[in-house]
Each structure stands twice: as C-alpha cells, then as structure tokens.
A = this chain, B = another copy of it.
Amino acid sequence: MNKSVERWRESPILEYLAELHREIGAMQDGAVATYIPELAKADPNWFGICVVTANGGTYEVGDSRQTFTVQSISKPFVYGLALEDKGRADVMRKISVEPTGDAFNSISLDPTTGRPRNPMINAGAIAATSLIEGKTPQVQLQRMLLMFELYAGRKLAVDEAVYRSESETGHRNRAIGYMLRNFNVLTEDPMPVVERYFKQCSILVTCHDLAVMAATLANRGINPITGKQAIRGEYVESVLGVMGTCGMYNYAGEWFYDVGLPAKSGVSGGIIVVVPGQLGIGVFSPLLDPQGNSVRGIRVCDALSRHWDLHLFNRPGLGRSAIRTKATGVDFHSMRVRTPEESRVLSTCGSAIRLLQLQGNLTFAAAENVIREIMDGAEATEYLVLDFRRVLIISESASRLFHATLVKFAEANQDLVFCNLDHLPTLRRCMKAKFGSRFDEQFRVFADNDAALEWCENRLLAAHLPHAIGQERVSPADYEFFHGLTADEVQVLASQLTNRTWNAGEVIINIGDEANALFFLASGLVSVVLPVAAGQRKRLATFSAGMAFGEMAVIDHAPRSAMIVADTEVSCDELSVADFEALGTTHPPIKIKLLENIALGLSRKLRKANRQLSVVE
C-alpha cells in the first residue's frame, strides 16, 4: 500500500506541469534583455511555472521562487489602483484604452490630446503612476507597494540596484514624462513621477507571486490564499479589459487569438495570465523574443490554454437546462399527512401548484430559460414554487429577472414563492434593494420545498374546504389504528389509554428515547423531524388528529430514531408497550387487528417514502 500512497502524492496536474517544464526548458531561443544593464545579469536558464486556482490550489515547478523585478507586469495593477483612487471616468480622461500595434517603448500619444493610447505602454503607465493618491511621493510609493503586497500575500521590496540602473538609463521615459507634462496629462513636475515609476518596475517578485497576483484577479480581487481584498471587484473587469487587448505589446492580437486570455508580460521575463473565475498563471524565463515577451513563457501559456481549454471564446453551449425537474401539486406533495378529504382536493386541484427545481449557474441566459418555462405554464398556475437548492451561483441580472417575474405574479394575484436560498445572498440583496420596506411582505422564502409546498397546499385547501385545517378533535373509535375493532374492543383498549397534552413547539419524543408507548393523536398537529446539518431540521411527516405515531420503535424495540414535535397544542392518548404486548395473551383478536393496522400504516409510509425517493433521485 505504501508504494501506491507514494505515487499519489503527485497530482496529475503537477506532473503535467513538470513535463511541460522539461519539454519547453530545452528551448534556448531568445535573448536576455540588455536595455537596462542590471537585467542583463539574469541567468538565461531560469525557468519557473506556477498555477494558483481561484480557491487557492497551488502547483509550481522549476525556479518558481527565484526573485526578479516585476517590470511592466506592474502596469495593470497600478492602473487598477488608479481606477480605485480616481474613478473610471477621470482615469479615462487621462489614459485611453485603444491597442496600438506599436512596440512597448513607443511614445504613442494621441497627436491632438496627448492622451496615451493605453495604460500598458510606458506613457500610459507613467500617467497611471501619477494618479495614485498620497500627500507625498513617499506616501504614494508606500500605497503602491502595499497594494502589490495585498496581491502577492507577502512583504515585497524594491531591488535598489535595478532601480538605480533603470534610473541611470531611463532617458526615454523622462522624455515621455515631459511629453505628458507638455499635454497637461501630468500637471506636476514629471521627474518624481518617473522615478516612482522606476521603483514600481523594480519591485522584486517570484513566479509564485505572479500566479497568486493573477489568481487574485481571477477571484474578483480577493487573494485566494490570504482572503484579503487587493482591488474592488468592480474594477477587475477594467484591468482585465486592457490586459486583454494591450497586455502583450505588439503581439497582443495574436496572443488573444491563440491563447484567448488577458495577460501581461515584462522584460525581465515574467508573464501573468488570468483565467477569470478559474485560476492565475505565472511563468518566468528571461529569454525574450523581439517583441519583448518571454519565449518559453508564451509557449507555456499557449500549451496550458490548449490543454486546459482555457481560451475565453472556446466555451461550450448552455449545457443542460437550468430546469432540473418540473412537478405539480398533483404528483408532488409536502410531507404533511393529509386526511382523505384533503387528499381528494389536492389530487383534483393540485395542478394549480407548480414546482420548478432549478440547477447550475443562473447567468442571464439560464434565467431566461426559466422565465420562458414559467410563462409557458403561467395560465394554469396559481402557486409557483421555485426551488434553488441545486443552483450554484446566481448573477445580478438573473436576480433582477426573478424580481420582475415576482412583480408580475403579484399584479396577477398569483403566488410566487422561493425556497432554499441560504447560499444565494445575491438574490436576497437584489429583492431587498428593489422592494425596500415591502421586502418581507413581497418576497416569500421558505427553508425547503416541503415547507413551501405545504404553504401552497394550505392556501389551496383553505379556498376549497369549508372547515379549518387541523382543528378537529377525534375520539378513540375513530383512531385509524382502531379500524375494524368492535365497540366492545374499543372500550377495552380505551380503558388502557393515558391522556397527555403538549404546547406548540414542545418535543414529544426525542432521538434516543426508550420506546415505551404508542401514541394516538386526539387533537392538534405533530411533525416527525430529523436534525440535519448546522442546527437545521428536516421534516419527514406531519400528522393530524386520528393518526398514530411512535409505532416503529414499539415494533422493533429500538430507541426512537426521529424527533416528534408538537406543531400546535396537542392532546394524545398513550398505550404503553407493556399493555400492548399483554394483548397477545389477553385479547388475541384485538392484537391481530392492531398489528394489521400498524403494518398497513407502515406499508403506506414506506410506499410514500419510496415514491419520494424515486422523484428526488
């Protein structure tokens, strides 16, 4: 066994990355960047790959913990901070978002406005750096560094040697700074901004950091390792937007065509790739192609995009319908055990109740599907239950569609109720925002479809039956387990009964209790419930007057296996197990009839449970 366990320590995902690292590591094409002298010291053999998923799964091979300077990969992150600090409109006035097709160090200012074409070229990046808030340049730099630390999930530092090297040779960027000043894109002295930009490019990161940073963007701005927010979710799409069209210098079009993912590369040899909602990729290899992108890095990303189906435009269709099952109140009932009269009404009029069980990711198109189904049957529906138990996520737009539908139901005097929503706060928030103070009254939510169905059934029954439900009082002669007994036999048994009462909410039987009596319900309602996860209870059945409970434990002598709770004030007649057993010798005919009735009751419950099992599965 040990050997097999050993094998199991290697995930097939890690194995694939190791194989890719071996294969692509053999390539020696490209050259280390030399335009900043300090960068030329990089070892051309360095090669690391790291993948971090949006919920923190981490896979890394090769030199994934080797530090290098972040360079241009800093640009989208600083742009994101500028968006947070100034808002989208103000930033857009300073920096456009059009791809240029030009090289990374081209000046690319709009000839009339001087606005840099996009924030991924140096001009746009320097403009973004200038937009970071802070009373002093020192504070601005500190805020920027803090932002990178939130993304990476660890303390970071500037490589002072690289910074000095950048500063000593960065005349082109100084020229860009003054051009921006000339057009009033920068309104302050451009030199401190350019120096801050050099420091920003000289922050030391690892390939693992890059993957965590990318995963943070993939996870709507929340670092999946630390759980901390690095950027507000609403700005993530803007950062990814410019990475998508402008992230790979003048290779951006081909990149998006082949790899189909927002990305950013840097001249020190790093590439980050973001797969929204799924994962982040960091690759590091300093050998660059003429456009300034890591040769091995591009190969790795291309392979991962293909092998893992990550291309954003390579998406399957809608898949299975958002509607898992449809049922009406004729074939799907609540666990409430109904009297024959009530059952008759439900089987005649139950089609006015509809249940739709939804599933999967309720994006706009999936919700549209549900709305179409609702409308197809709206004519005959008086009560509609939407069960969200198997819904994994719901979007804002889908939530708004359900709100609009609920309003239509209310206008038409039809009831639309919801259940199993605990895991979907988006829908509740949307309803609250729309309904305001009328929220509780308009938006009816039940814990599960059983409770929702019972509510609908009760409303339907109240409309069709003259007398109130569950209010009658039954005498022993009418107990269902007494069926077939003569008047004398009823008399004999009744004399052995003890009457007890409970208030609503009281526990009549607890799990594990010794089984010492059989209960006949004279008046009120009781429910059989099971505790399920996290303090919740699942109802197995509800009984009304005339019915019996507690017979299973009497038969098999096992401790009670479910709770019985009084739903209303309850009055019961108890028959002790000792008296029940003694009947076998004192009154065999009574015992036989009781046993037949008990077996009959059990077999009815079993049939119902089996039917329920075949529906839910």
> For the complex, would chain A's binding face be called helix, strand, loop or mixed by DSSP majority?
helix
List the B side residues contacting A396 at CB < 8 Å: 309
A253 CA to B3 CA, complexed, in Å: 55
Contact of A240 (CB < 8 Å), options: B275, B313, B411, B552: B313
In Å, the complex CA distance between A309 and B362 comes to 11
Q: What chain B residues lie within 8 Å of A561 (beta carbons)?
A: 607, 610
Is A57 an interface residue, CB under 8 A from the partner?
Answer: yes
Does A257 lie at the interface of the complex (its beta carbon under 8 Å from any beta carbon of B)?
Answer: yes
A100: interface (CB < 8 Å): yes
Taking a contact as CB atoms under 8 Å apart, the answer to whether B256 and A317 are in contact is no
A96 within 8 A of B: yes
Per-position binary interface string of chain A over residues 572-593, scored 1 when its CB falls under 8 Å from any chain B CB and 0 otherwise: 0000000000001000110110
Asked if A610 contacts B607 (CB within 8 A), the reply is no
A277 at the interface (CB under 8 A from B): yes
- Asked whether B7 lies within 8 Å of A412 as measured between CB atoms, the reply is yes
Identical chains bound together, number: 2
Is A245's CB under 8 angstroms from B237's CB? Answer: no
Residues of A within 8 A of B (CB-CB), count: 128
CB nearest to A240 among chain B residues = B313
Q: A12-B401, A262-B313, A316-B277 are in contact. Are A254 and B610 (CB under 8 A)?
A: no
Contacts of A252 in B (CB 8 A): 98-99, 245
Determine if A242 is an interface residue (Cβ-Cβ < 8 Å).
Answer: yes
- Give every chain B residue within 8 A of A220 (Cβ-Cβ): 315-317
Q: Are A395 and B7 in contact (CB under 8 A)?
A: no
* A317-B55, A317-B220, A364-B308 known; A375-B612 Cβ under 8 A: no
Q: Knowing A412-B7, A609-B610 touch, does A238 contact B257 (C-beta < 8 A)?
A: yes
User: A173 near B: Cβ within 8 Å?
Assistant: no
A606 touches B604 (CB 8 A): no
Q: How far is the CA of A96 from the CA of B255 in the complex (A)?
A: 11
Chain A 278-319 against B: per-residue CB contact (8 Å), 1 yes, 0 no? 110000000000000000000000000001111111111111
Question: Please, could you name 17 A-B residue pairs with CB atoms under 8 Å apart, sorted by A?
Answer: A3-B412, A4-B411, A4-B413, A12-B405, A53-B369, A97-B253, A98-B253, A100-B101, A222-B317, A244-B313, A277-B315, A277-B365, A320-B392, A320-B423, A530-B614, A595-B599, A609-B610
